[in-house]
Structure 1
Amino acid sequence: MALKPTEASQTEALSLSPLLAEFFAYLRHERGFSAKTIHSYQQQLQAVASQLNQTDWCLLTEAQLQQHISSCRQSLKPRSLALRVAALRSFYRYLQLQAKVADNPALYLQVPKFDKPLPKNLDVDQLQQLLDVDASDDLLACRDKAILELFYSSGLRLDELVSANLQDIDWGDALIRVRGKGSKERILPIGRLAMQALREWLEQRAALVNDDEPALFISKLKRRISHRQVQQRVKLWSQQQGLSQHLHPHMLRHSFATHMLESSSDLRAVQELLGHASLSSTQVYTHLDFGQLAKVYDQAHPRARKKTTDD
Structure 2
Amino acid sequence: CDSNSCSLPECFCPGTKGPSTVSRDDTPQMVMLTFDDAILKEHKKSFDKIFTEDRINPNGCPILATFFVCHNWTEYNIVKELHQHGHEIASHSKTHRMPQSFWTYASYGDWERELEGQRDNINKLAGVPISDIKGARVPYLETGGDAQFQMMTDAGYTYDSSFMTGPFIEGGVWPFTLHYPPSTVYCSNINCPKRSYPNLWEVPLNRWVGPDGRPCPMMDACDRQPKDKDDAKAFFLKNFNRHYRGNRAPFGLHLHAPWFQEGGGFKLNAFAEFLDEILTKDDVYFITLQQVISWMKNPQPKHLTSQFKPW
Shared fold (TM-score greater than 0.5)?
Answer: no
Richer in strand (by share): 2
Question: Would you tell me which structure has more helix in proportion to its own residues?
Answer: 1
Asked which structure has the greater RCO (Cα within 8 Å, sep 6+), the reply is 2
TM-score by length of 2: 0.21
Q: Which has the larger radius of gyration?
A: 1
TM-score of the two chains, using structure 1 as the length reference = 0.21
